[in-house]
Amino acid sequence: MGRKFFGTDGIRGLANTEPMTPATALRVGMAAGAFFTRGDHRHRVLIGKDTRLSGYMLEPALVAGFTAVGMDVFLVGPMPTPAVAMLTRALRCDLGVMISASHNPFHDNGIKLFGPDGYKLSDQAEREIEAMITGDAAPTLAAPEKLGRAKRLDDADGRYIEFAKATLPKGKTLKGLKVVVDCANGAAYKVAPTVLWELEAEVIPIGVHPDGFNINRQCGSTHPDLLQAAVISHGADLGLALDGDADRLVMVDERGAVIDGDQLMAVIAESWLEQGRLPRKGMAATVMSNLGLERFVNNLGIELKRTKVGDRYVLEAMREEGFNLGGEQSGHIILSDFATTGDGLIAGLQVMAALVESGKKASEFCRRFTPFPQLLRNVRHSGGAPLDKPSVQSAIAAAEKALGSSGRIVIRPSGTEPLIRVMAEGEDRKLVEAVVGDIVTALEQAAA
Q: How far apart are CA 432 and CA 375, in angstroms?
A: 7
- Written as one letter, the residue type at 117 is D
Q: How far is CA 210 from CA 77, 182, 207, 406, in A?
A: 13, 12, 7, 46
Burial of 235 (0-12, 13-18, 19+ CB in 10 A): exposed
Eight-state DSSP code of residue 69: T
Closest CA to 160 of 128, 198, 129: 198
Provide the 3-class DSSP secondary structure of residue 152: strand
Q: How far apart are CA 386 and CA 441, in angstroms?
A: 12
Provide the 3-class DSSP secondary structure of residue 441: helix
Pairing state of beta strands 333-335 and 303-307?
unpaired
Residue 16: CB atoms within 10 A of its CB come to 14
Residue 267: CB atoms within 10 A of its CB come to 23
Q: How far apart are CA 90 and CA 113, in angstroms?
A: 16
| Residue 283 near residue 297, CB atoms below 8 Å | yes
Burial of 416 (0-12, 13-18, 19+ CB in 10 A): exposed
Q: Which residues contact 397 (CB under 8 A, 6 or more apart)?
A: none
Q: How far apart are CA 283 and CA 267, in angstroms?
A: 13
| Residue 196 near residue 203, CB atoms below 8 Å | yes
> Which residues belong to the active site?
102
Q: How far apart are CA 54 and CA 360, in angstroms?
A: 44
Pairing state of beta strands 44-49 and 333-335?
unpaired
Q: How far is CA 327 from CA 206, 339, 383, in A?
A: 25, 13, 31
Q: How far apart are CA 256 and CA 428, in angstroms?
A: 27
